[in-house]
Amino acid sequence: MPRRPRFTKKQALMIVGLSMLMGQFLWQHMRPGHSFEEDSSRTSCRVLRVNDGDTFSCDLNGNGRVDAPIERIRLLGIDTPETRYGLSKRLQKKVKKGQPFSEEAKAFTEKQLPPYHTVSLSWDVSRQDRYGRSLAVVYVSPSDTQSLNERLLAEGLAVTLFYEPNTRDKSKFEAIEQAAFQARKGLWKTHAN
């Protein structure tokens, strides 16, 4: 009778981890009606909660919870005013409310991204920021041509913010920001000429 191979605890954990990754890959890529071509441009994700105007949490792997940090999505190419949530724990104790227009930006994003709504994510060159959050351009529905990122800029609730190498939409976003500035929307209402 052949002997069964023995694995160390470390090897067994590696096998289990690789099996889980393979299962997640197959779930993402092999479900009915899904093609690999979709992944090159957009990935689906189910919204769980909105953290602030430019950050939300979603369920990418279908387990119904947030597996931080990669399932925290940061809207790419924009920056909204910080709510208290975006501040350090020390500052949260001192500050009663967030920056001007932070609540408006969060409310706008919450309206666009209700809980359990499925959105489409589009990636640029680098998929994560230095905090491990996924960086994405977010489309509220698969057929949308205007992203949530662009909508926030158009309403004057965000400013452009780009870091190399993720500059794919820079000129388009800057043009939208300039139009909101000229129309004195949101953040730009009180800005002098």
82 is catalytic: yes
Give dist(CA 105, CA 2) in Å, integer: 65
Catalytic annotation present for 6: no
Residue (of 139, 146, 169) closest to 78 by Cα position: 169
* Contact predicate 137/75, CB 8 Å: yes
**Which burial class, exposed, middle or buried, applies to 81 when counting CB atoms under 10 A from its CB (0-12, 13-18, 19+)?**
buried
User: By the 8 A CB rule, do 43 and 120 touch?
Assistant: yes
Decide if 84 is catalytic.
Answer: no
User: Of these residues, 6, 46, 71, 74, which one is catalytic?
Assistant: 74
Q: Scanning the structure block, which residue is given the tokens 């924009």?
A: 78
Task: State the catalytic residue, choosing from 82, 150, 155, 177.
Answer: 82
Name the catalytic one among 72, 133, 151, 177: 133
Q: Cα(81)–Cα(188) distance, rounded to whole angstroms?
A: 13
> What count of other Cβ atoms lies within 10 Å of the Cβ of residue 117?
14
Rounded Cα–Cα distance for residues 77 and 15 (Å): 38
Question: Three-state DSSP class for 44?
Answer: strand
Catalytic sites, residue numbers? 74, 82, 133
